[in-house]
Amino acid sequence: MLKEAAKLPQMKDYYRHHSATFISKADSRLLQSADLLAWEWAKCQDETLDRHIRDIRKSLRALFEPDPNKRYKVLHLTGKPLKRYLNQIRNMGLAQLAEERSTG
């Protein structure tokens, strides 16, 4: 998906994609934060949703609080909302390709 998005300026913009590269997690706070979110989510799935032994952890709740600077938004999509989102992305890419073909 990123390979295709990299070809379309509108999609690169939408995903805030700059480039694809390999980097050590120690050198990237973004990769560390992705690991933190994955760990917190796994703990929530196990302890809160599956075993019902605790409420949602405060540390996970803090990760999902709205960003006052509007730099990010957290969505958890499944079912119909996920299909709608993926169709929106597909349509955006198709529209961009059609535009490039008509002007190219």
| Tally of structural domains, the chain | 1
Query: Which tens digit of pLDDT belongs to each residue from 43-54?
Result: 999 999 999 999
* Mean pLDDT per 10-residue section of the chain, whose length is 104 residues: 74 77 78 85 92 93 82 78 86 82 77
* Closest alpha carbon to 65 in 74, 78, 55: 74
pTM: 0.47
Identify the pLDDT of residue 65. 82
Query: Which letter, b or e, does each residue of 51-63 get, where b requires 16 or more Cβ atoms within 10 Å of its Cβ?
Result: eeeeeeeeebeee
Tokens 């709608």 locate to: 84
Identify the pLDDT of residue 2. 67
Cα three-residue angle 55-59-64, rounded to 5 degrees? 90
Domain residue limits at 30: 2-103
Identify the pLDDT of residue 85. 85
